[in-house]
Chain A
Amino acid sequence: MTDTVAAEGVGDATLDIPANPPRRALGLHRELSRVWSNDRGWRGQVTAVNHTTLGLRFMATALVFFAIGGVLAMLIRAQLATRQGAFLDTELYNQIFTMHGSIMMFLFAIPMLEGLGIYLLPKLLGTRDMAFPRLTALGYWCYLFGGLILLAALAAGVAPRDGWFMYTPLSSAEFSPGINADVWLLGVTFVEISALAAAVEITVTILRQRAPGMRLTQMPLFAWYMLGTAAMMLVGFPPLILASVLLEVERAFDWPFFDVARGGDPLLWQHLFWMFGHPEVYIIFLPAAGAISTILPALCRTSILGYGGIVAAILALVFLSFGLWVHHMFAIGIPHLALTFFSAASLAVAVPTAVQVFAWIGTMWKGRPELALPMLYILGFFLTFVMGGLTGVMLAVIPFNWQAHDTAFVTAHLHYVLIGGFVFPMLAAAAWWMPQITGRARIRGLGEVAFWVILIGFHGTFFVMHLTGLLGMPRRIDVYPDNPEWEVLNLTSSVFGFVMAIGLALFALDLVLQATMGQRAGRNPWRAPTLDWAMSLPAPTFNFASLPGPRQVAEAAPDRTALALARGEGLLPGAPRGQRELLVTTAADARPDHVAVLPGNTALPLVLSASIGAFVLLMLAGLYALAPVALVAVAALAWRWHRGLATLAAGGAMVAVAPRLALPVQPGRGRSLTHSGGVALLVADGTLFAALIFGVAFLHVVAPGWPPPPAAAETATGAVLLVALAVGLGVAALAAHVTEARQPAGRSLAGWAVLGLAGNGAALLALALLAGWVMDDPTAHARDALRGVLAGYVGLHALICALMAAFVLDQIRRGEVPTSGAPSGWRLWQDFATATGLVAVAVVLGTAAVA
């Protein structure tokens, strides 16, 4: 947020911005298309960075994975239909339910909501693309390649088989030899790069690219929901990434983080996993709720009731959902008092959910609901999600949880919440936005039939499953020869499961028919009030020929707006400089701040994610010595990536946005989109570090097998090297600050950049000496393994900062520094690296002193 304070310096940015003179719409359209279109043919497929293309691609790919996950679900139901199901053997069954959960969570739900946000947000907020188009593409390729690795493992019969929650020690090397577990750890982490990428750019896009005049307190609720989602992803995913890295390191190099015999603790995995896993449910729910908050009022021909209450509810959910994770662990033997905190928090989270539900129902009372297809799905959502919410409340009650935990009751509950709270709203969203996406109207009838088949199939499958669980059927069993009393219930679930699958297939058929054979739809068939309908359909790659300003935002009349914008009466019309330009505004008030130039089509994201993929594959193959080579390629490509940014930034000129309003292009320091994105990414990085510190504290306090034997590392040499490490990082931070401060003057920077390089180099040298001569064998005890990980974390960041200092040096050499954002970027990262490095040194010294 700090960067916006400076933005108020743009004093002439009054919010009454005059209109540009009208031009010929067709000419503008052609001018923009030349600049914004994807490349032609197959080349266009690999170089596209446009948000419309990639948003649709995300969603289409997610649907394919949904279908695959659904087929796996049908296999599970077929196996469970009878007591002695001989359909699958246990090994295969375990792989299938593990993959069903993992695919639905990581390869369907999360990418689906990312795709929806990426496709919709720029249109809804009145801009032309996401903040970091190449990052969008990088995210997509990481998602696709990670997903393909998982699918390939499934096809080869070596898919993960330890459950989607991957509890240790079942998933550790001793009990899960083979690469099955590695496929999960590496593949899912690879996919998570796309989640972090999406979270960063969704945050920045919402905060910095809203149409001028669209204040934060007035923006469409969908954007509030996505802002909450993105913030949760930035904080929610790092614990899982850390856990996956630790477990992979344990499996590959035998560092005992979870091995109880050597000071580790399997419960550390559970804490880290559910610190991600519970917020994950709300990460999935919030965008769906955002879709409902958009569609419902429009279909009731009114405005949403309780906008402020809903924003407050989002705020409460974002925080509270991080205080529930232990309710997945009520049966692990934690003292009752600690359980009651999490029980109370799990109940408390129902309050903001209730606020939203009642605000939506009140909206229906306020308006006149129209029973169109999206409304049917919203009604399906209400029925299903309310029931799922109530069973969730039941599960928050500790004694009941002790009975129901790990039974089919929980399976029923989670499907009520996830299908009720995500799939039904997404089906409503599909019905709602398909005309926007395809420009075609729906073929009447089929969608309604699909709705009823899905609804009946769903409740037929999962309603009885509550009882199955209460009758004692545990999760994840493949046969139940001694329990005939479960058979009818299971058979019912299986039969209706297939009914539901047929319904979903009908729905997919409906989508295909609409996309290929539907009649042309009018511009705004639903008479919706939001900007996503203020464009010709299907949407052009640049969305708006000229960007909406305060007037268009205030009018909320997309039909009139569309015409004015197409004729160039809005802001920043066309692409007169032959580059992709959009407006960057201030975070709260959306005052015009500067014009950003976005990179165009490039295969760099594909190549970069392919080299990350090469690293993953080398790790999977056990070629640990070769894997770092792939990382060298990653670093080289990242260098090129930023070089591209630097060339774009070489402007600094003022351009006309509207009559009497000229704005600078890409101000380098502090206020740029890249800077905001860097802050968002460091929030995630900081959370990862905090989770690591939590791990250190947790093992020290809770794990059996402590204290370990005294460490050899705690010698005078070790202390001296730690001090050298701290001093090196401190000097580097000083150098980064001086470089940034002196950048406008542009003189004598090279010496400071060299000093920064040297400081980080000294830190790396100190770490190397510590690792080589002083530190204990990290395989001996969790304490030494944790110290190894801390050293690795600090070393990685010192290395990144050294590269950034070198990059600044390179820019000085090329004479690009006066307008470059690189010095402030380096300063930002160096501050973070130095701060975390000092904390790490303090933690090591502190724990040594306590012991």
Chain B
Amino acid sequence: MLLLAGCGGPLSSLDPAGPAAGATAVLWWAMLIGAGVLTLMVLGLLAAGFGRPRPVREGRWTVGLGLWFSIAVLSALLAAGVWVGERLLPRGDAVVTVEAHARQWGWRFGHPDGRGGRIETDGTLHIPAGQPVDVIVTSADVIHSFWVPRLAGKIDAIPGRANRLRIEADTPGSFDGLCAEFCGLGHAGMRFRVIAHPPDDWPAVLETLGEETAE
């Protein structure tokens, strides 16, 4: 419990609030346990090495442990990684597609207004909760990176390219985001916020946003 309490925080990837971050966090805890066991195993073998000489079979160490044991562990990990990775990909079935446009040093977001136009905001991205959202990430100048740790992994904003990232928030709320790729003097302050609204309120939210930005 204490351990889990230490894992909180507005930017914690260990306190997931969406399916992508959730699946990745599960992967992390599983890998942590595996890594802990392997570390203890190696240290145990090392400790057992201190003592009188004993006959050793070369093949057990280099082929048995070195080759087959490690291939077994790594194959399982590869399968798990590819399987989770596939599930996180945007598949064109997003309910909403928004844009995140990075510049030195801030974020401008675009939302569909439902009538074919876009509603633009600075520093805050609005999404409906409980629905898959695709973010089209672009850059006006240097390379930045769009990251909302509690929702999903990051994707870079690269000049000349439009990258697509799938995010989803399980429940309504406010989630912190930041620029993860070093982008010069203002890098540390290049934060933003994602607000997930109840799906029923979404049309109304867009309505209000549209009015606010029109003023």
Contact = CB atoms under 8 A, between A and B. Distances in A.
Contacts of B24: 399-400, 402-403
B208 interface: no
A483 B11 contact: yes
B94 interface: no
Most buried by A among B13, B43, B80: B13
Contact of B161 (A305, A333, A340): A333
B96 interface: no
B50 A369 contact: yes
Contacts of A261: 160
A5 interface: no
A362 B61 contact: yes
B85 interface: yes
B149 interface: yes
Determine the main DSSP class of B at the interface with A. mixed
Contacts of A301: 53
Nearest to A467: B6
Contacts of A67: none
Interface stretch (A387-395, A618-626, A664-672, A677-685): A387-395
Contacts, number: 254
Given A332-B158, A343-B78, A306 B46 contact: no
Nearest to B49: A364
A351 B67 CA distance: 6
A563 to B, nearest CB: 30
Contacts of B8: 485
A294 interface: no
B212 interface: no
B58 A399 contact: no
B204 interface: no
Interface string B87-119: 011000000000000001000000000000000
Contacts of B56: 305, 362, 365-366
Contacts of B46: 361, 364, 379, 382
Interface residues of A, number: 88
Contact of A356 (B66, B84, B152, B161): B66
A358 B82 contact: no
A170 to B, nearest CB: 4
Given A332-B156, A351-B71, A397-B77, A170 B143 contact: yes
A336 interface: yes
B126 to A, nearest CB: 20
Interface stretch (A41-49, A212-220, A474-482, A653-661): A474-482
Nearest to A340: B82
A395 B84 CA distance: 14
A478 B185 CA distance: 10
Most buried by A among B6, B159, B176, B182: B182
B11 A344 contact: no
A37 interface: no
A695 interface: no
A354 B42 CA distance: 10
A396 B70 CA distance: 15
Contacts of B66: 306, 309, 313, 351, 354-359
A333 B156 contact: yes
A175 B187 CA distance: 14
A412 B42 CA distance: 20
Nearest to A174: B141
Given A94-B185, A336-B89, A472-B178, A305 B81 contact: no
A331 B65 CA distance: 33
Contacts of B52: 368
Contacts of B161: 333, 704
Contacts of B39: 386-387, 390
B205 interface: no
B10 A483 contact: yes
Interface in A397-426: 397-407
Nearest to B184: A170
A490 to B, nearest CB: 13
B155 interface: yes
Contact of B48 (A94, A365, A475, A482): A365
20 contacts: A167-B182, A169-B143, A170-B143, A170-B183, A265-B160, A305-B56, A309-B66, A333-B156, A348-B74, A350-B74, A356-B66, A358-B62, A365-B54, A393-B35, A402-B24, A403-B13, A476-B187, A483-B9, A485-B8, A485-B9
Given A358-B61, A406-B181, 5 more contacts: A90-B185, A169-B141, A333-B137, A399-B24, A472-B149
Interface of B: 6-14, 20-21, 23-24, 27-28, 31, 35, 38-39, 42-43, 45-46, 48-56, 58, 60-63, 65-67, 69-71, 74, 77-78, 80-82, 84-86, 88-89, 104, 137, 141-143, 145, 147, 149, 152-156, 158-161, 163-164, 176, 178-185, 187-188, 191
